[in-house]
Amino acid sequence: MIDPQPAPQTQVVASQAESRIQLARRWPGKSVGAAVVLAGLTLLVIGLQFSYLRTVSTSIPHQDEWMLLDAMFQSFDSNNVVGWLFHSRNGHFGLTGKLSYLLSLQFFSLDLAPLRFLNFPVCLLGLVLSARVVMQHVSQPAIRWCVISGAALLLFNLCMWEHFSQGSAFATILAAVIGGAGLYYVVRALYAERARIKNLTVAFVWIIFAILSFGIGYAALAAAFALVTLWLSKRLIGTQPVGWSRPAILGAAAVAATLALLSHPLLNLGLPLRGYLYHFLLVAGAIWASPFENPPLAQKIAYICGLAVFSVSLYALADFVTSDRRRAEGFRAFGIAIILFGLGACAAVAAARPGLPEQEFLSSRYTLQTSIAALGLLFYFATKSRVLLGQLWSFVAIGYLFATVEEWQTGPFRPAVYESIEATVRRIETVPDAELASSLYWNEDLAPIRRVATRLERDRLNVFRNDR
């Protein structure tokens, strides 16, 4: 009996498998060497942020902290501390930041410098959790450390210097980390197919905690619902014998990317939601535009880079829904969840700040949102495509260099600004409003600042804590 010849398709699959085996045999030495280099880069990036936070710090309140501290002191006077803790301001509860103020008041006489340094352990926690997930699902050392080092370039990027300048702003980064942890348990509930109720309960608790910590947690909640919708859609598509689903979904993604492309004001096409889409892209590209002081140039770079992030994210979403691969599906689902988290956070900024000047969408405080989306892309393509992963890593590294080099040069001058603010606050009773506003870079109501400064002096707190 003559053995049947293998079908051409079978021969192609076998050939591809053999090629992968040969590549894997050649890869180990290079893989270990690349992993060592990337691990060293990760440690360097961590050390740079640690050094920056030690050098650029102050006890004095900064920017929105004056309003938060004024509300805290008013809650003391009205015996309504619990109401203050759970009061939402502009959609943000800020519970962890408020609790940190109470602890600082109790143990450090409201010295805010230790609170500013909390950004470092929070970023380190985010990196450790990311590394743990990567270690579980990625086997090759070079790919592992490519993703982990990319996560470090995003988490320890000095583009987020505004978060580092305020004592309670660590709560924003903490909310992002906690929200990501909640999404991890959502993925476990959907794809592990065991202890589903327990995992969903844990996910719900973490996401609620993220919402209470800062408003970015709402984007994590929206991402959880979106992920469940994608999970159901993926299974529905898998039951259909027709072959139109993948072209249709990829076509819808292409249409969305095209609409985003046409949202630039220069085209002036009058598209619905044009302004919203443009602002969304500015936030999505804020990291790469942060070092450019020329507003028109910065906006162009943010628009291009934001469009790139959005387009690649749409491709990842379409590929995830239409792909029938089972390998590493849970890990890719986690990457999709983080992408949705980041894009949702970018969209929330654009929707909640429609009247904000366009240059303000490039603010340092909004760079965390696109960092989350970029991290999700690294997760997704870690088991999808080495080529795309390498390109994404380079894109992230460029953003890190642009922003961190700029802030590393600017940072040494910030202590002088803080010293000027402290000197002004120390003579709060006599300083005129114009000088106070100029010194504190504050264009809003000055009454809360005066009330807080007077209270600090009376109770010997903050910069007055060592006065006799």
pLDDT tens-place string over residues 178-189 = 999 999 999 999
- At 51, is the pLDDT very low, low, confident or very high (cuts 50, 70, 90)? very high
Task: Write out pLDDT tens, residues 329-386.
Answer: 888 999 999 999 999 999 999 988 888 888 889 988 899 999 999 999 999 999 888 8
Number of Cβ within 10 Å of residue 438's Cβ equals 13
pTM summary value: 0.88
> Domain for residue 52, yes or no?
no
How many folded domains does the chain comprise? 1
Select the more confidently predicted residue: 175 or 62: 175
> Domain for residue 424, yes or no?
no
> Domain for residue 4, yes or no?
no
Task: Give the model's pLDDT for residue 383.
Answer: 87
> Domain for residue 282, yes or no?
yes
Task: Write out pLDDT tens, residues 101-116.
Answer: 999 999 999 999 999 9
CA distance 230 to 223: 10
Mean pLDDT of the chain: 85
- At 327, is the pLDDT very low, low, confident or very high (cuts 50, 70, 90)? low
Number of Cβ within 10 Å of residue 262's Cβ equals 13
> Domain for residue 186, yes or no?
yes
Choose the weakest-confidence range: 43-52, 173-182, 341-350, 432-441: 432-441
Q: In the chain, count H helices and then E strands.
A: 21, 0
> Domain for residue 213, yes or no?
yes
Calculate mean pLDDT across residues 14-25.
46
Task: Give the model's pLDDT for residue 270.
Answer: 64
> Domain for residue 329, yes or no?
yes
> Domain for residue 333, yes or no?
yes
Burial of 10 (0-12, 13-18, 19+ CB in 10 A): exposed
Residue 300: domain span: 119-412
